[in-house]
Structure 1
Amino acid sequence: MIGGSIGQGMLQRGLAQRVVGVGRNAERLQLALETGAVSETTTDFAEGVRSAELIIVCTPVETIPEIVATVAEHCPAEALITDAGSTKAEIVTTISESELGATFVGSHPMAGSEKAGVAHADPNLLSDRVVIVTPTTTTNRDTCERLIGFWKSLGAKVYEMSPTEHDRAVASISHLPHLVASALAAATPESFLHLAATGWQDTTRIASGDAELWRQILQQNRTSILNHLSDFENVLASFREGLEREDDSAILKLLIEGKQRRDALAD
């Protein structure tokens, strides 16, 4: 979905004359062509990147380093390679340790959805949404600015962070919420589901995301997630203690803190 949205956004904004979709599934590539996500397709990686200026790898996080290494063997030396993965430290470290024939700078568009596939692509997906770019100490400044400019041309708000800083931040605002949503959904008795309204549906929406994709994300960022999970467990324990003691003031304080934190996002 993210790759298709980027492709549609580029073509509809006139940011590129050619957007080549490269993949292994011919049927999915055909759908990408039909939905305007790409201008042409191929299952041949070498052919697909032969004259590329910018290459965006939109695959599950465990496969990104291998695919980056593959395309780097065949793309022009001046090509810029980035990705859309939800983790960064392990990906960037692995790629940095290999000798690429092209430049890689990590990216993370914070605009995903529980829905998968190009059929759900949206050309305006990144409009006014956050994209995090993760240069390293060896990243050329002009190259980084080039990547930032690309994401801004799709309407995104771009922030720079180191790969490690990125993983610490998204563990809190992306990865832990997915884990909690999944846990809440799994803990709900199936016999009650027919009563579920917007509260349960909104809170657990992201639990519908691809399970294998999220297994990879949670494993790659497990250290940061575990740290934030401990903080979450402490807050949850405070709620339990307040309920057990029938301490209305403690419960009210926790609810107010949560409301203030959530409301701050809209300010």
Structure 2
Amino acid sequence: MTRWEQAAIVGVGLIGGSIGLALRRSGLARRIIGVGRSAANLQKAIARGAIDQLVLESAGELPEVDLVIVCTPVDHVAKHVAWWASSSAQGALLTDAGSTKARIVSDVDQQLHTQNPRQTRFIGSHPLAGSEKTGVEFARENLFDGRVVVITPSDHTAPSAIEEVEVLWKSLGAGVISMTPTAHDEAVAATSHLPHVISSALAAVTPSDLLKLAAGGWLDTTRIAAGDIALWQQILLENREPVLAALTKYETELNSWRRALEQRDAAAIETLLQQGKTIRDAVGN
């Protein structure tokens, strides 16, 4: 059943391309428009079936759409939402896929409060899905199946936007959790951003002449260090304070490990291993 006549995906990479493919699978959008800076990349998205039409960011006029999903780096999201708020259909739904939320939601709320002639409705989203791979060539229609999407309504969010964005993500295969933007950023600092820092640090301290000995443990732990550098630089700077807080807790835990090893404390080592195993086992595979 079609719910949106025209949907625009701004930034058609892994996430944006997967949204396009999943939208097509769900049948919720009659036409899907891809927006970006590179015509060559958008042509790849058309070839993959992720979008029907391309529009370059440099175009003087944006098409009128009733659903916009912004999948650009986090420092560009608010700007793109503002652009589309002035050209989308009356009452269009605007959302994003950014990994941080507090500043994005605050900036967009302020912009739409002062200038929103089309009465568009914005609500922040963050699909907890992805890969160290980037680009629309890695997009797949089932990327969100069984995954979680966090939505972050604010005091300015229209109830209808909450309802519609839940329909959107559930139709793409995901479960939906609602959190405040600040609570979201604190949570993902611990579950996503800190692991990336740790992964990158572990890879960086491994001598290159020992890489031939790298086995499953090292490969599993450092996989995400292969992610896009520019993207992660922006995420970590955007969520700096929560990541620093998470790093402080991690450093405390590392100090417990150091003391246990220095003191040859077998009981403490067993306790630390058991604590980690218990948490990991609770997640499953």
Short-chain TM bin: over 0.9
CA shift digits 1:135-194 (9 cap, x unpaired)? 001211122111111100011010000000100100000000001100111111111111
Q: Is the 8 A contact 1:4 1:32 kept in 2?
A: yes
Q: Which residue of 2 aligns with 1:151?
A: 169
1:39: Cα distance to partner?
1.2
Match of 1:122 among 140, 148, 161: 140
Q: Is the 8 A contact 2:147 2:175 kept in 1?
A: yes
Q: Which residue of 1 aligns with 2:40?
A: 27
CA shift digits 1:111-138 (9 cap, x unpaired)? 0111000000010000010000000012
1:93: Cα distance to partner?
1.0
Q: Which residue of 2 aligns with 1:39?
A: 52
Q: Which residue of 2 aligns with 1:84?
A: 97
1:77: Cα distance to partner?
2.5
Secondary structure of 2:182 counterpart: helix
Q: Is the 8 A contact 2:33 2:53 kept in 1?
A: yes
Q: Which residue of 1 aligns with 2:237?
A: 219
Q: Which residue of 2 aligns with 1:95?
A: 108
Q: Is the 8 A contact 2:34 2:42 kept in 1?
A: yes
- Name the CA distance, whole Å, in 1 between partners of 2:161 and 2:78: 19
**1:246 counterpart = 2:246:** no
For normalisation by structure 2, the TM-score amounts to 0.91
1:17: Cα distance to partner?
1.6
> What stretches of structure 1 of length at least 5 have no aligned partner?
none
- Name the CA distance, whole Å, in 2 between partners of 1:14 and 1:53: 15
Residues 231 and 55 of structure 1, relative CA distance in 2, 3 Å threshold: same
Secondary structure of 2:31 counterpart: coil
- Name the CA distance, whole Å, in 1 between partners of 2:44 and 2:115: 31
Secondary structure of 1:18 counterpart: strand
Q: CA RMSD in A?
A: 1.3
1:100: Cα distance to partner?
4.3
Letter of the structure 1 residue corresponding to residue 145 of structure 2:
S
CA shift digits 1:192-216 (9 cap, x unpaired)? 1111111101000000011111011
- Name the CA distance, whole Å, in 2 between partners of 1:66 and 1:143: 20
- Name the CA distance, whole Å, in 2 between partners of 1:259 and 1:6: 34
- Name the CA distance, whole Å, in 1 between partners of 2:157 and 2:237: 27
- Name the CA distance, whole Å, in 2 between partners of 1:46 and 1:108: 29
- Name the CA distance, whole Å, in 2 between partners of 1:151 and 1:249: 46
> What stretches of structure 2 of length at least 5 have no aligned partner?
1-13
1:97: Cα distance to partner?
1.6
Which structure shows the bigger proportion of residues in strand conformation?
A: 2
- Name the CA distance, whole Å, in 2 between partners of 1:74 and 1:154: 25
Q: Which residue of 2 aligns with 1:9?
A: 22
Secondary structure of 2:19 counterpart: helix
Secondary structure of 1:22 counterpart: strand
Letter of the structure 2 residue corresponding to residue 134 of structure 1:
T
- Name the CA distance, whole Å, in 1 between partners of 2:172 and 2:115: 27
Residues 260 and 217 of structure 1, relative CA distance in 2, 3 Å threshold: same
Secondary structure of 1:34 counterpart: helix
Letter of the structure 2 residue corresponding to residue 23 of structure 1:
G
1:53: Cα distance to partner?
1.3
- Name the CA distance, whole Å, in 1 between partners of 2:29 and 2:107: 30
